[in-house]
Amino acid sequence: MNIETDLPIEPELLAELGVFENFLSRFGFKRIDGSIFGLLFLSMRPISSEEIQSILEISQSAVSQSIKQLDMYGAVETVEQRGTRTKRYKAKDDCLAIVASVFRKRELQHIEELHLMAKRVLKEREKENRGSRSRRLESMLLATELGESMINFLIHITSYGDNDSYKKISKRFKDMLSFLADSKDSTLPHAIATNIAGRIKDGLLKFTGEIR
């Protein structure tokens, strides 16, 4: 392969693969998963496993295992080409659906385990005097319920499946968060509400391209 003319990605963009490695490693993926996903994500066209192997200088078995892992989380798809048996791969276009899939299959399970543990221990010790342990467990229940709600919301909106719908949903969601941030409700400290709403609003604005 002519490295200058046949690359599906500009050589200077290969330096960006480390960002994908670092990001996905925080969700429990191997660094090679991140570099392969980054390569597919930044590529101008679908890529064969042989090309991935050559560009990243890794073994074919490593490529196969990583593609299988990424496919399981809905991050990549196979592109069949007429007149050839060569399989090529590309990153899914719907990034929000990828994030939702990872949350559903990895993060949500861990949050649910914590939630059930806190609920179970509280029930077993419901007759004890309310002390710091009970308060911690109740706080855990509230935190995991919030986490589950946010992830389930994210999973649900991916069913709309297109960026125009995402933008409409995120606009209404931002309006709701603005209301929350400006709320004077004494049961939710204003500073906390502003912090939570501000962080989520910024993330949605970046996702929809309204800010960079």
pLDDT tens digit sequence for 16-33: 999 999 999 988 899 999
Give the count of domains, the chain. 3
Rounded CA-CA distance 203/205 in Å is 5
The pair of structure tokens assigned to 82 is 């007429």
Q: Is residue 186 part of a domain?
A: yes
Classify residue 3: in a domain, yes or no: no
pLDDT tens digits, 72-99: 998 999 998 777 778 899 998 888 788 8
Domain of 70, CATH number, reads 1.10.10.10
Nearest to 41 by CA among 76, 71, 65, 11: 76
Same domain, 130 and 188: no
156 and 166 fall within a common domain: no
Last residue of a domain, one of 160, 184, 199: 160
Residue 1 belongs to some domain of the structure? no
For the stretch 149-203, pLDDT in tens is 878 877 777 776 666 766 677 667 667 667 666 665 656 555 555 565 565 555 5
Residue ranges making up the domain that contains 148: 94-160
Asked whether residue 118 falls in the same domain as residue 150, the answer is yes
pTM: 0.67
